[in-house]
Each structure stands twice: as structure tokens, then as C-alpha cells.
Amino acid sequence: MAKALVIVESPAKAKTIMKFLGAGHIVKASMGHVRDLPKNKIGVDEKKNFKPTYQVLAGRKKVIDELRKSAESVDAVYLAADPDREGEAICWHLAQELKSVSKKIYRVMFNEITKKAITAAMAKPGKIDDHKVDAQQARRILDRLVGYKISPLLWEKVRRGLSAGRVQSVALRMICDREKEREVFKAEEYWSLAAKLAAGEPPPFEARLSKRDGEKYEAKTKQEMDQVLADLAGASFVVQEVTAKEKKRHPMAPFITSRLQQDAARRLGFTVKKTMMIAQGLYEGKEIGDLGAVGLITYMRTDSTRIADEALLQVREFIATRYGKENLPDKARAYVSRKGAQDAHEAIRPTSMEYTPEVVQKHLSKDEFNLYLLIWNRFVASQMESAIFDTTAADISAGRYTFRASGSVVKFPGFLSVYDDTPEAKKKDKEEEAEAADAARAADEDEASRILPPLAQGQALRRLGLKHEQHFTQPPPRYSEAMLVKALEENGIGRPSTYASILGTIQAREYVEKDKGRFIPSEMGRLVTELLVQSFGDIVDIG
């Protein structure tokens, strides 16, 4: 007879864990939440300290019956849902349903699904964390109160069947506010001027107009630009000052949930929902040849950049062997998690350095492999040496005008040989943050792709040509999924586990639509937001 019943959320997770536990254990899946507030009434007693009333979900009655039957035939029940608030709540609801048939109910948690982690967790079972359960219940009750109090107003004023959510309504407001900013935006004209120049040695290079009479300057009209060109007609271009220095670029921290969602959107074109679905599969376990089902990454819902000491030792050994000791810092890098991070779990990383991209590639789909490779490379790079650049900046005088040229060459690639975050790699990120026409103003910052010839103070340069262009300032860009996640995170709205559902809900309710990957509020979305701001301003206040 089996001695223990282990309950997880999904069949995939159950299959992987069963492989590690073996005989004497039954591993079953609850299929996620098993109980919730009733669908047809509020289910919260506001007069009795907001006491909730729960009922078994319609589709989970059979699951609960099977779990009760299994619990009767074992010595103990181990609840092993995900190690977060939702997971804790699932465990608590399961315990409430199973306590009549089992006296020994334990809580086990692991940050990764590996034999070592599972064995350690089972050896030291704990209790359900009531504080986490209370936190989840408070959020759920708030969601229900907000939904049930506001939705009837939307039915009356907009359309029956609509609903409002505590967090989704704020995200929708941000999208609507951005659209209003775009509508009132007035474009301003400006002109850029680049001089193509040659020194004594190749290559030819570009310098951009930056000052007039020693003050920062930008031509605003065609007339102003014509005047600049007239002034420069017979001007000599002379190197005024050259500054050369060494610059370091440090690696970024390993992924937290929101950063993974943003990078997967920008680099792989994944939606937030797709990223989380694939990451869940990598966490729960994949069949990797003779190894069988193994969890490939640590828990994917986290806001901590912390890494376990054992994992740090593994990755440092890997870096020294694969990339050479010159790429290994003297000591492991530690990253500070952002303010307000719960730090309950590690950052997202591979569970073992044995599962190299080469080992797992043939066993994963293209999308699974690409996401795994992103996680792997970011983690390895986070513990490597900084990249070093030799940078040069030159101020070039031409009559009353000053032009600026800058460039750099990689002296030591360091982490960039694994995870490229150079301006070229970040091009798509830049397009996310600002429209292309404003890129002229940022051109001086984009120096890594330019190489300057040797330049000396007082050196005369040969003018090869002048190129002037008209530009117009652009309105603030509409939110993409990556940008909205970033904005929600910066404003402390939602949690790592909720970003995907927030974005999914506002689309499912037809409050927003997408155009070229950007969110546009629908007429209904704008109407709902206006109504909520007027009637429930404190609830949809971003602060």
C-alpha cells in the first residue's frame, strides 16, 4: 500500500515528481484551484468581518472525490502546489476538503523540480502558511467586492454582462490615458545635420551638429537650417578636443518574471501569456532522452534576483571551463532585488548546468528551446566579467558651430559573448520606447557601432559632405505588452503571477484591441474607464 499521497496542480508536474519519488507514493493533480467564491452571489459577508463562503468548483467535484479516496488509503498527504500565494491557497482549500479523511496533512515546497529539491522538501515537510493564505483571500475578496459593486453600474450604463476588476481596471486606465496623450499631442519640427568627414587615416566618419556659439543648438525650421548651411559654406572643420577613455558595461541580473516577459516579447516576439505557458512547461518538466522527465528551470513567478550558493558554484565552474578564467570575476556577483520584492524564490535560472542548450535542444520545440536559451544565456552572462570598451569622443569646430563625433571599440567582450546587450541588440527595445523619427536625437548615444580614426587636437579634417534631415517629434507610443508590463511593475500594480491574466482579461472583455502589437482602447473600453474614473476614482487611481 502507498504510504503517501502527493498533490500538485498539473499532470505534467505530477509525472515528473512521480519519477523522483517512486514506489510508496501516489502523485495526483488537483488541476489548479478546487474551490472559489460562488459564481451566482457575492459570497462575502460584509457584516461578519468580510467572511467568505467557498464552494467546490463545478469541474473539480470528480477530482476532489478521487483525492479523498486516495487520501483514505495512505498514511499522510503532502500538498505540493506552487510556492506562492496562489499555491498556498490551493493547498489550504485542499486541506479543508481532505481533513475529514486524513489527519496528517503536510505542506511541501520546492523552487525547482529536481530529485535533490523534491527529496529535501519531502524530508522536511512543513505547515500551510496562514499569512500567505490570508493575503490571497484578502486579494480575492477585494476582487469580488470591486467586481460586484462596480459591475452593476456598467450593466446599467454601458452593456449587460460587463465586469470591472481591481487591477485590470487600472491597466485599462493607463492605456486610455496614453491614448488621450496621443490625441492632444502637437508635433514639433526639428532638423538634424551630419557632416561626413575624413582624417589622415580611414575610416571616414560622421559628426553631428551639437552647438552654436558654445551653446547647445538644434535647428527648428528649414529657414534656420538653411542659415546653418550658408554659415558652413566655407568653414574649415578642425578637431577641437578629443577625449579617450575606457568604459565598462556590467552584465544584467538573471531574470525575474517581468524582465523575462519583456525580453521574450522584444527578442522572440512572444506574448506574455505565451511566455508564461512555455516557462510553466519548462519548470514542470520535459522528457530529455535517457534522463526522462526533468524540470529545466526554477520557479518562473518571482521578483527576486537571488541565486542559491550551489547554483553560483555550478555556473562559475561552467564559465571557467567554457569561456576561460579571464571571463570569471574574482567572486560571484550579487544583485539587489527591487524595492518591494518578496524574495520568496530565486531568480529564474536553469536547474542544472548539465542541461546545456546543446543537450536539451533536440528534445524541445523551437519556442521552448528559444525561451530556455534566453534564460540560460542571461543566467550565465549575469556571473561573467564586465565588457570593456575603448571609447573616443571628439568635438569638432566649424566656424561658430561645434559638431560631435563619438565611437567605441570592444576591448574585452566579457559577458557580451553570451548575452548581447549592445545598442545593436537593443535596437528593438529603443523602438519600443520611442518612435523612430526621434532617433535622430539619440544618435549621439548610439556609439558602439561606430569606429573613429585616430584624431588629434588641432587636426584639420576634410569635409566629404553634409546631410540635413527634417524630423517631427512623435507622440508617446502606445503600449506594447512588454511596455505595459514594465509600466505596471514600475507603478507597483499587480504581481509577477498576474501580468499575463491582466493583459488577457482586458483583451477578452474587448476593452482593448491590438494594432501592430500595440494596445488601443476600444470605444467600450474608453466608456468604461470614464465611468469608473467619475464614479470610483479612488479604485482606479494608479497611485
* CATH no. for 189-250+387-472: 2.70.20.10
Ranges in the chain annotated CATH 3.40.50.140: 4-128
Domain 137-184+477-535: CATH class, spelled out: mainly alpha
To which CATH superfamily is domain 257-382 assigned? Topoisomerase I, domain 4 (1.10.290.10)
Q: At what angle do helices 168-184 and 523-535 cross, to 10 degrees?
A: 110
pTM: 0.87
User: Could you say which DSSP state residue 107 is in?
Assistant: E
Ranges in the chain annotated CATH 2.70.20.10: 189-250+387-472
* CATH no. for 4-128: 3.40.50.140
pLDDT tens across the length of the chain (543 residues): 578 999 999 998 999 999 899 888 999 999 999 999 998 889 999 999 999 999 999 999 999 999 999 999 999 999 999 988 889 999 999 999 999 998 899 999 999 999 999 999 999 999 999 999 999 999 999 888 888 888 888 888 888 877 778 888 999 999 999 999 999 999 999 999 999 999 989 999 999 999 999 999 999 999 999 999 999 998 999 999 999 999 999 999 999 999 999 999 999 999 999 999 999 999 999 999 988 889 999 999 998 999 999 999 999 999 999 999 999 999 999 998 777 666 668 999 999 999 999 999 999 999 999 999 999 999 999 999 999 999 999 999 999 999 999 999 899 999 999 998 654 445 555 555 554 445 455 554 454 457 899 999 999 999 999 999 999 999 999 999 999 999 998 888 887 778 888 999 999 989 999 999 999 999 999 999 999 999 888 877 887
Hey, is 128 helix, strand or coil? coil
**Torsion angle, CA of 477/256/312/78, rounded to 10 degrees?**
-160
Ranges in the chain annotated CATH 1.10.290.10: 257-382
Residue 397, strand partner residues: 238, 402
**Which candidate in 78, 106, 299, 401 is catalytic?**
299
Pairing of strands 189-198, 105-107: unpaired
- The per-residue b/e assignment along 296-334, b for 16 or more CB within 10 angstroms, e otherwise, is bbbbbbbbbbbbeeebbebbbebbeeebeeebbeeeebe
To the query of whether residue 479 is one of the catalytic residues in this protein, the response is no
Please say whether the dihedral angle defined by the alpha carbons of residues 332, 337, 343 and 346, taken in this order, is positive or negative: negative
Which own/partner pairs from 533-538 qualify as long-range (CB within 8 Å, at least 24 positions apart)?
533/173, 535/150, 535/153, 536/150
